[in-house]
Amino acid sequence: MHHMSEPNEAGNQEEREEMTEDEKRDRVVSLAFGGHRDRYNAFCDAIAEVVPPGTTVVLRGSAVTGTRWKDGAPFDADGPGTSDLDLTLVGSDVLHFFNVSGFFVPDVHSRPMGEDDPDIAPGLVPLRETLMSIVKRPVNIQASREIVLQFRGNLLGQPYLTLLET
């Protein structure tokens, strides 16, 4: 029997299976970090050294869900280290890392900074290099004000894992 689901505000059982933060973290450590919790911790510590106070750092995408959004392929379907990590830095101060060309919505939601577009957030390039050396896979970094994340996480049903809050 599965007794873990809790009633929502209306008192109904949730229809779809929501993973807990611990379950999402275990999946991320297993998939993206090869089961090495120490590498996951080093990854989070490296981010904490760079982001300003008041920042929440979340991981979205196939490392959390286990499958690629656009085609349902499993994480690392193309071989070890091929699936990237999609980090979102949430808060108003992190937006300053991105230059004016680096936004989908100016001063609200940035484009992802990765190998295609490193010049949109040059101040985050050293962090990205450090993170990739820890996790041995590509890392993309985006910044958003909180409202964008709430919209994507709650309304669009895109699960995410909170890595840290500064």
Site of tokens 């450590």:
29
* pLDDT at site 12: 38
Please state whether beta strands 85-90 and 109-110 pair in parallel, antiparallel, or not at all (unpaired). unpaired
Tokens of 55: 């920042």
Sheet holding 85-90, edge to edge: 103-105, 109-110, 139-144, 85-90, 56-60, 160-165
In degrees and rounded to multiples of 5, residue 30 shows phi and psi of -65, -50
* pLDDT at site 53: 93
Is the backbone of residue 27 left (phi > 0), alpha (psi -120 to 50) or beta? alpha
Q: Among residues 162, 144, 159, 130, which one has the least CA distance to residue 66? A: 159
Walking along the chain (166 residues) 10 residues at a time, the average pLDDT comes out as: 42 57 95 97 97 93 89 93 94 92 85 92 96 97 80 63 92
* pLDDT at site 7: 42
Please state whether beta strands 160-165 and 56-60 pair in parallel, antiparallel, or not at all (unpaired). antiparallel
Q: Decide: pTM greater than 0.75.
A: yes
95-100 CB contacts, 8 Å cutoff, 24+ apart = 95/143, 95/145, 97/121, 97/123, 97/124, 97/143, 98/143
d(CA 147, CA 149): 5
> Dihedral through CA 77, CA 153, CA 57, CA 105, nearest 10?
100
* pLDDT at site 156: 53
